[in-house]
Amino acid sequence: MFADVILPVPFDSFTYLVPPHMETRVMRGCRVVVPFGKSKIYTGVVIATHHRQPQGIEVKDIIEALDDSPVVSEQQFTFWQWIAKYYICPLGDVMKAALPGAMKPKDDAALRETSKKRQKRNSETADQTAHTLNPLSLAQQTAMQEIEASFQTKNVTLLHGVTSSGKTEIYMHLIQKCISQGKQVLYLLPEIALTTQITNRLRHVFGDQMGVYHSKFTDAQRLDIYRRQASPHPHMLMLGVRSSIFLPFQRLGLIIVDEEHEQTYKQQEPAPRYHARNAAIMLAHMCGAKTLLGTATPSFEVFHLAHKQRYGYVTLTQRYRDMQLPTIEVVDTKEAKRKKLMKGPFSPRLIEVISDALSRNEQIILFQNRRGFANFIQCHQCGWVPRCPHCDVTLTLHRKVSTLTCHYCGYTTRIPTQCPACEEQKFDSIGTGTEKIEDLIPTLFPHATALRMDLDTAKTRLQHERIIDAFAHHRADILIGTQMVTKGLDFDNVSVVGILDADLMLNLPDFRSHERAFQTLSQVAGRAGRKNRPGHVILQTRSANSDIIRQITAGDYWQMFLTQMSERQLFRYPPFCRLICIYLRHRDSRLLDHLAADLGQRLRTVFGDRILGPDCPPVSRIHSLHIRKIMLKLEHQAPIDQVRQALLAIQHQLTAQPIAKNLNIYYDVDPL
Ligand code: ADP
Ligand code: ZN
Ligand code: ZN
């Protein structure tokens, strides 16, 4: 007997011989230990057993069979295979993402031991008491009824509700209903950073029925949860980040995707480059479950389908208890700059509003979507700019730690004492990061204390929680941060939000930049005045009279959608077509150019002018690997199976050439 085994390497599967004494234990879905290459030993999952002797290759024996019954269910296999096909990546990569790292043999015995102990402790300490669901307001009740009604005819429904309209309260009622019918719920969040506040809220109501799953857990913890979900007594509610879609589910009834528009739902690196929201919709479909997508600012992909009535659509336009949405005041920094009134990135108006809030003992959030001190430094005399030796980017100045750092590969070096080109000793710092803003606070607001939250100060979950906790307890007046401060944070005493430079987001060379700016800036604005008074947002921009700024200040999603969609239609971008990006990577840029041109030509013979490129992406070298990109624009009705087969066939033609030996190719389907 032979077994096809998925291994944690970028291939679909490998065939092994099953020794006769193992034949009863080697089944589809069970783990086996196998030799690989010259000296490696891997654990893999059997995907099939058969009697077809592979031709022309040496077949090795399975070393050990680990399970008596499958650890990967049929439903999971179907899901894995869908991911592999849709996102054009090997099953081995999907398995690596799907199974907790600890499902390897050496740790197994030890893990079982600790796992038992931990489960015992958990069941002793867990808060079993389920409390005080809040009764829903009238508007919330109506929304809930509309959601349930739409689920009668649709598998997916979008809940489009302004921030603080009580979407989470509605989720909790739906979850309770689902659980009471004996069905499981998966609640997806875009980021670990968001889990703490939500976990506390849900734990209060669902107690030990709820489990939490994310990548910052240890392998042992993740294995525990995986096992429990496959056991006869799984958590009925699972709260998790994108990888939790790979957990085993037995009777899934509902998936909630909170903040569905968030980019972090898409895995960028490594493969599988899946979108957890889209994969969740497929998973729900496979399990006969429903999907609820919630957000205040829907992604175009989702809103478009809701608009076409493929998805159900439910809105909440009022905040809970009719609290006011914040007023957004636009400050034209072009004007202020011309009159030389700016103090660094602060306009006089922003300084005034912050000072007023401080005098009332209220707190302030300042948003700047760039970390570090300055974007880069430049020789005062000749204009020389230090760049990363491994990547095609400038180095970012981090002044507190006196370094220049590459935000792509982490390369770090000391700030030079003199310019290597002209020996000048003075450098100018260009652009403003969160660190520079923090630096200016003591000068501008001598009595205020500030905290900074970005990738440098909140590297770990604990650091992140500490900052939030300190700010929530008013141990600082001002919180300065990147994207991190925009998300799901709920502070009582914040009356002012300052957006220092909206143009940073608007001017990105990306067809989604306006959609994203609208989403992010609405989110950050929503942090102002959440509890008892309306908030005040100051939005600084050099394009005060643009449509997009008007749409953001008016909170007019619909106008923004219409404006942007007409451009997308004109230039054929999603959601009017589908994109597949084909990336090529190689150390040698000239060889890479040659191979990329070759691939482009081959692809054009099949796909014609649907192929764009090859081009250099905005950052065309990372970690010493040069990168080229070819884009495929497909009609929605394109036969996706055939497209994938054609792409792979052409890839194999290309890579069969000896010069393509060290070429790396991968696909990014529905790139963000
Ligand atoms: P969203 O998820 O739409 O941002 P939340 O569910 O977080 O809104 O609600 C915002 C705030 O209002 C929270 O503090 C929440 O506890 C409160 N809230 C919303 N609906 C209710 C309700 N029906 N009863 C009590 N409090 C509510
Ligand atoms: Zn110089
Ligand atoms: Zn670098």
Q: Give every CB contact of residue 534 below 8 A, 6+ residues apart in sequence.
A: 323, 324, 325, 326, 327
Mean pLDDT, the chain, rounded, equals: 92
pLDDT band at 125 (very low <50, low <70, confident <90, very high): very low
- DSSP string over 237-305: EEEE-GGGGGS--SSEEEEEEETTT-GGGB--SSS---BHHHHHHHHHHHHT-EEEEEESS--HHHHHH
Q: Which helix (H) or strand (E) holds 569?
A: helix 557-571
- Least Cα distance to 542 among 597, 482, 501 occurs for 501
Q: What is the DSSP letter of 380?
A: T
Mean pLDDT of the region 10-33: 95
Least confident stretch, 128-132, 340-344, 530-534: 128-132
Residue ID of nearest Cα to ligand 1 atom 21: 166
Q: Which atom of ligand 1 is least distant from the CA of 168?
A: 6
Q: How far is CA 609 from CA 302, 559, 598, 631, in A?
A: 27, 32, 15, 10
Q: Which helix (H) or strand (E) holds 6?
A: strand 2-6
Alpha carbon of 406 to ligand 3 centroid (Å): 5
- Contact between 273 and 239 under an 8 Å Cβ cutoff? The reply is no
Ligand 1 binding pocket includes 432 (Cβ within 6 Å):
no
Q: Is the model's pLDDT at 154 over the cut of 50? A: yes
> What does the pLDDT look like over 408-441, one tens digit per residue?
889 999 999 999 999 999 999 999 999 999 999 9
pLDDT at 130: 64
Mean pLDDT of the region 163-183: 95
Distance CA 247, CA 245 (A): 6
Ligand 1 binding pocket includes 165 (Cβ within 6 Å):
yes
Residue ID of nearest Cα to ligand 1 atom 9: 166
Residue ID of nearest Cα to ligand 1 atom 11: 164
Comparing 27 with 618, the larger pLDDT belongs to: 27
3-state secondary structure of 402: coil
Distance CA 644, CA 651 (A): 10
Ligand 1 binding pocket includes 378 (Cβ within 6 Å):
no
Q: Is the model's pLDDT at 55 over the cut of 70? A: yes
Ligand 1 binding pocket includes 221 (Cβ within 6 Å):
no
Q: Which of 131, 133, 164 to mutate to test the pocket of ligand 1 (most atoms within 8 A of CB)?
A: 164
Mean pLDDT of the region 147-167: 95
Distance CA 132, CA 117 (A): 31
pLDDT at 324: 80
CA atoms within 13 A on the CB side of 438: 22
CA atoms within 13 A on the CB side of 157: 25
Mean pLDDT of the region 52-65: 93
Q: Is the model's pLDDT at 121 over the cut of 60? A: no
pLDDT at 485: 84
Q: Which of 137, 138, 169, 489 to mutate to test the pocket of ligand 1 (most atoms within 8 A of CB)?
A: 169
Token reading at 654: 């290309």
pLDDT at 127: 45
Q: Which atom of ligand 1 is least distant from the CA of 165?
A: 3
Q: Is the model's pLDDT at 46 over the cut of 60? A: yes
Alpha carbon of 186 to ligand 1 centroid (Å): 20
CA angle 135, 137, 138 (to 5 degrees): 125
Strand partners, 187: 239, 256
Distance CA 37, CA 488 (A): 47
Angle between helices 276-287 and 74-86 (to 10 degrees): 140
Ligand 1 binding pocket includes 161 (Cβ within 6 Å):
yes
Mean pLDDT of the region 170-187: 97
Distance CA 283, CA 261 (A): 18
> What does the pLDDT look like over 468-486, one tens digit per residue?
999 999 999 999 999 888 7
Q: Is the model's pLDDT at 122 over the cut of 50? A: no
Ligand 1 binding pocket includes 171 (Cβ within 6 Å):
no
pLDDT at 129: 53
- DSSP string over 197-230: HHHHHHHHHHGGGEEEE-TTS-HHHHHHHHHHHH
Distance CA 619, CA 641 (A): 31
pLDDT at 109: 47
Ligand 1 binding pocket includes 163 (Cβ within 6 Å):
yes
Distance CA 185, CA 640 (A): 30
pLDDT at 519: 95
**Helices of type H across 413-512:** 434-444, 461-472, 503-506
CA angle 340, 346, 349 (to 5 degrees): 85
Ligand 1 binding pocket includes 228 (Cβ within 6 Å):
no
Token reading at 603: 């692809």
Q: Give every CB contact of residue 356 below 8 A, 6+ residues apart in sequence.
A: none
Ligand 1 binding pocket includes 166 (Cβ within 6 Å):
yes
Alpha carbon of 176 to ligand 1 centroid (Å): 16
Considering every ligand atom, which ligand is closest to the CA of 198? 1
Strand partners, 17: 2, 61
Ligand 1 binding pocket includes 134 (Cβ within 6 Å):
yes
Q: How far is CA 155 from CA 82, 281, 293, 355, in A?
A: 18, 8, 11, 50
Alpha carbon of 177 to ligand 2 centroid (Å): 68
> What does the pLDDT look like over 391-412, one tens digit per residue?
999 999 998 889 999 998 899 9
pLDDT band at 616 (very low <50, low <70, confident <90, very high): very high
Q: Give every CB contact of residue 138 below 8 A, 6+ residues apart in sequence.
A: none
Q: Is the model's pLDDT at 62 over the cut of 60? A: yes
Alpha carbon of 418 to ligand 2 centroid (Å): 8
- Contact between 536 and 496 under an 8 Å Cβ cutoff? The reply is yes
CA angle 278, 282, 287 (to 5 degrees): 145
Residue ID of nearest Cα to ligand 1 atom 17: 166
Alpha carbon of 437 to ligand 2 centroid (Å): 27
Q: Is the model's pLDDT at 359 over the cut of 50? A: yes
Q: Which atom of ligand 1 is least distant from the CA of 161?
A: 3
> What does the pLDDT look like over 528-549, one tens digit per residue?
875 667 899 999 999 999 999 9
> What does the pLDDT look like over 214-267, one tens digit per residue?
877 888 889 999 999 999 999 999 999 999 999 999 999 999 999 999 999 999
Number of H helices, E strands in the chain: 19, 28
pLDDT at 64: 95
- Least Cα distance to 445 among 324, 593, 343 occurs for 343
3-state secondary structure of 83: helix
Considering every ligand atom, which ligand is closest to the CA of 428? 2
pLDDT at 110: 43
Residue ID of nearest Cα to ligand 1 atom 18: 166
Q: What is the DSSP letter of 346?
A: B
> What does the pLDDT look like over 252-311, one tens digit per residue?
999 999 999 999 999 998 999 999 999 999 999 999 999 999 999 999 999 999 999 999
Q: Which of 163, 167, 318, 320 to mutate to test the pocket of ligand 1 (most atoms within 8 A of CB)?
A: 320
Token reading at 209: 């029925």
Alpha carbon of 197 to ligand 1 centroid (Å): 13
Comparing 488 with 642, the larger pLDDT belongs to: 642
Distance CA 127, CA 203 (A): 8
- Contact between 169 and 153 under an 8 Å Cβ cutoff? The reply is no
pLDDT band at 12 (very low <50, low <70, confident <90, very high): very high
- Contact between 552 and 517 under an 8 Å Cβ cutoff? The reply is yes
Q: Is the model's pLDDT at 113 over the cut of 50? A: no
pLDDT at 119: 53
User: What is the b/e burial string over 58-96, where b = at least 16 CB atoms within 10 angstroms of the residue's CB?
Assistant: eeeebbebbbeebbbeeebbebbebbbebbbbbbbbbbb
- Least Cα distance to 166 among 140, 141, 132 occurs for 140
Ligand 1 binding pocket includes 259 (Cβ within 6 Å):
no
Q: Which atom of ligand 1 is least distant from the CA of 296?
A: 3
pLDDT over 70 for what percent of the chain?
95
Ligand 1 binding pocket includes 523 (Cβ within 6 Å):
no
pLDDT at 193: 66
Residue ID of nearest Cα to ligand 1 atom 15: 166
Token reading at 53: 């002797």
